[in-house]
Structure 1
Amino acid sequence: MTDLAAKPDVRPANSHFSSGPCSKRPGWSLEGLSDAPLGRSHRAKPGKAKLAEAIDLTRKVLEVPEDYRIGIVPASDTGAVEMALWSMLGARGVEMLAWESFGKGWVTDVVKQLKLEDARVLEADYGELPDLATVDFSKDVVFTWNGTTSGVRVPNGDWIPADRQGLTICDATSAAFAQDLPFDKLDVVTFSWQKVLGGEAAHGVLILSPRAVERLETHTPSWPLPKIFRLTKGGKLIEGVFRGETINTPSMLCVEDYIDALNWADRIGGLTGLRNRADANLKVLADWVEKSGWADFLAVDPATLSNTSVCLKITDPDILALDDAGRAAFAKSVAARLDREGVAFDIGAYRDAPSGLRIWAGATIEADDLKTLTAWLDWAHASEKANLSQAA
């Protein structure tokens, strides 16, 4: 029989630990969005001004070089990545790096949809990275910076040469605003503001280096491009997209919410402040993992450990003795118990990932809430294990 931990007396002030859409910033309220130009055209002066403000604040907070273009595009990070893949690939071979669900999704697009025969796929299991030293940068390279579903990130940009011939296309959706992105090593960067800044869904951001713009203006794909993916006209970049003239109609309420989050980020110290908060949150979880006795990080190498989408595996020997279905059911039962208690919402592992838990630790989360959560994690584990023993 398992010793049952006492039920904690204190609950997190904020129980929103979902990895996307993520928690709103501390102090957020609907009243903060009252300046949104609702009921107005996004092409009218107020709408264009708001979109341009969002782009300018993105550049400031994310520290994007002045000669890089920033555009707001439809369909979240997925739309931004698809726009880059469909518009830019095909000029040379491509290296596809995949170590979690979304990276594998981009492999499917390139290999099965675009049918690029000169695509090479470098894969790794959940928890690990492919051998970055083997990447061929004479080709285009497509990769995620931070694996949202595995909790594994590339440690830095040192593996990317400055004299590369191909483009680097980086899905940075759960890394932007929390991790160092060396823009001099990145030609295309995409993210959704629903991740680290806790914005509302359905909009993506596409950032292009001068090299990426050159590719767009000199390369015509062999496949037809839907209107929503077209970034050039007459062989020239459609500059309006990067001044707030969006391809399709954006939600001005969502844009206002993004501006609110960016202003908060600026107030707390910009990128440094955001990164420090995420790092402090990761330390809370790392300190707990070290003494938990039943959980560990899915990431194998500590240097690759994500400070946003923290993925945990259950290492309790009694649970490991179960079959795959039993282990998955146990992990789900722990997450479900915490959900019922109103303590932690949406912390189950991603559906394609190994069984376990996934806890968002990005900058909009308070460290004190994570500290409080860890006691509940221990309680939920002990409670579900006791149920398992009784049923045996």
Structure 2
Amino acid sequence: MTTPPKPAMRPARPEFSSGPCAKRPGWTPENLSNAVLGRSHRSKLGKARLKEAIDRTREVLEVPDDFLIGIVPGSDTGAVEMAMWSMLGPKPVQLLAFESFGKDWVTDVTKQLKLEAEVLGADYGELPDLTKVRKDADLVFTWNGTTSGVRVPNADFIAADREGITICDATSAAFAQTLDWAKLDVVTFSWQKALGGEGAHGVLILGPRAVARLESYTPAWPMPKLFRMTKGGKVSLDIFEGATINTPSMLCVEDYIDALKWAASIGGVAEMKRRADANLAVLEAWTQRAPWAAFLAEDPAIRSNTSVCLNVIDSRVTSLAEDAQADFAKKLASVLEKEGVALDVGGYRDAPPGLRIWCGATVDTADLDALTPWLDWAFATVASELQAA
């Protein structure tokens, strides 16, 4: 097998990592010059910047006015944990587990909180049977599986007259997919995903039904300080007005504000979704021409437009032992990184071997157009080495 020549064009920005993701187009460190540094985050100026981040989040994400928005520690994981530890217990629990993080929530609920829960699972690339979701149970689920490239197509499986609450991990769905706020009681995300922000912080959004649960239910287990959202039986509203539970990085907060300003300037969440859809379309068109690659999510209706996961389906690779297939995928990612055309595109460690390419709105479609010939070149290069061996 002859290795083709290297493509002439290269992506202008080769950052296709699924978290932290690519910075927004045109980003420079100078954009952070207004950061409140060397000051307390509880100062008047510090709290104002945190409140601005919250207000801009509501504007861009189109969050209903009666929902609370807070900045919390521990990235998206911290936000999900706060919700589960504070609200689960009084009703039956169901969990959707179709990728790595959904499975982590199963472990936390069943092993740490020691609650009996029904797990609706599915293999990577597929969704569980959503018709089994009960309206009398609390539900914990990921809207978009970051490690599987699979998303729920909509929230139709959630009953409008549900008795339980829904806790939605939307970290790789927010700002790229349409969230049905009427069906969601808790929504979490980290700005390091679809907005390309820096890590460490999570965003926790609570609807009225979630607030009612917090104010009517006290868990039986000890509650760590970082998870406490109530005082005297009432939700601590200051958390959702800029008084964070612990010290945030004001540099990261400023970076988030910058990303939100950019998002608003291009047309808000509708335009961000359009950009992500256009990016996915580039890879969908390319797989029609590339016989060696396919989407892990075979059904287009549930295919992610952010964390795009690809399999190698060439028989020379699929005939190999599982560890050899994984090694082939790692070599693909390594060759692409060595050439400086795609950074951090290896599949998640627990997922089937393959590539994972972030297609969120901060990625320019032109860069994906430039990337696809390099994917073919990398495959041909590694396949040649395999054949020679």
Alignment match of 1:261 (pick from 259, 262, 277): 259
Letter in 1 for 2:54: I
Alignment-derived partner of residue 310 in structure 2: 312
Letter in 2 for 1:165: E
Is 1:270 equivalent to 2:268 in the alignment?
yes
Letter in 1 for 2:369: K
Alignment-derived partner of residue 18 in structure 1: 17
How many residue pairs match? The answer is 389
Quote the Cα distance in structure 2 between the aligned partners of 1:305 and 1:280. Answer: 13
Q: Secondary structure at the match of 1:108?
A: helix
Is 1:69 equivalent to 2:63 in the alignment?
no
Letter in 1 for 2:312: I
Cα deviation, 1:146-205, whole Å, max 9, x if unaligned, reads 000000000011111110000000000000000000000000000000000000000000
Alignment-derived partner of residue 174 in structure 1: 172
Quote the Cα distance in structure 1 between the aligned partners of 2:214 and 2:49. Answer: 27
Alignment-derived partner of residue 218 in structure 1: 216
Cα deviation, 1:69-96, whole Å, max 9, x if unaligned, reads 0000000000000000000000111001
Q: Secondary structure at the match of 1:121?
A: strand
Alignment match of 2:338 (pick from 337, 340, 344): 340
Alignment-derived partner of residue 207 in structure 1: 205
Quote the Cα distance in structure 2 between the aligned partners of 1:10 and 1:291. Answer: 19
Aligned-pair CA distance for 1:115: 0.4
Quote the Cα distance in structure 2 between the aligned partners of 1:224 and 1:179. Answer: 36
Identity %: 66
Q: How does 1:68-147 map to 2 (within 5 A)?
A: 68-117=67-116, 119-147=117-145
Aligned-pair CA distance for 1:300: 2.5
Letter in 2 for 1:320: T
Q: Which runs of 5+ in 2 are unaligned?
A: none
Cα deviation, 1:321-369, whole Å, max 9, x if unaligned, reads 1110111111110100011111111000000000000000000000010
Quote the Cα distance in structure 2 between the aligned partners of 1:243 and 1:336. Answer: 44
Q: Which runs of 5+ in 1 are unaligned?
A: none
Is 1:196 equivalent to 2:194 in the alignment?
yes
Quote the Cα distance in structure 1 between the aligned partners of 2:156 and 2:312. Answer: 32
Quote the Cα distance in structure 1 between the aligned partners of 2:100 and 2:122. Answer: 11
Quote the Cα distance in structure 1 between the aligned partners of 2:23 and 2:317. Answer: 34
Alignment-derived partner of residue 5 in structure 1: 4
Alignment match of 2:321 (pick from 307, 320, 323): 323
Aligned-pair CA distance for 1:9: 1.5
Letter in 1 for 2:129: D
- The two structures have a TM-score, normalised by structure 2, of 0.99
Q: Secondary structure at the match of 2:120?
A: strand
Quote the Cα distance in structure 1 between the aligned partners of 2:319 and 2:137. Answer: 45
Quote the Cα distance in structure 1 between the aligned partners of 2:218 and 2:112. Answer: 17
CA RMSD of aligned residues (A): 0.5
Quote the Cα distance in structure 2 between the aligned partners of 1:142 and 1:381. Answer: 38
Letter in 2 for 1:9: A
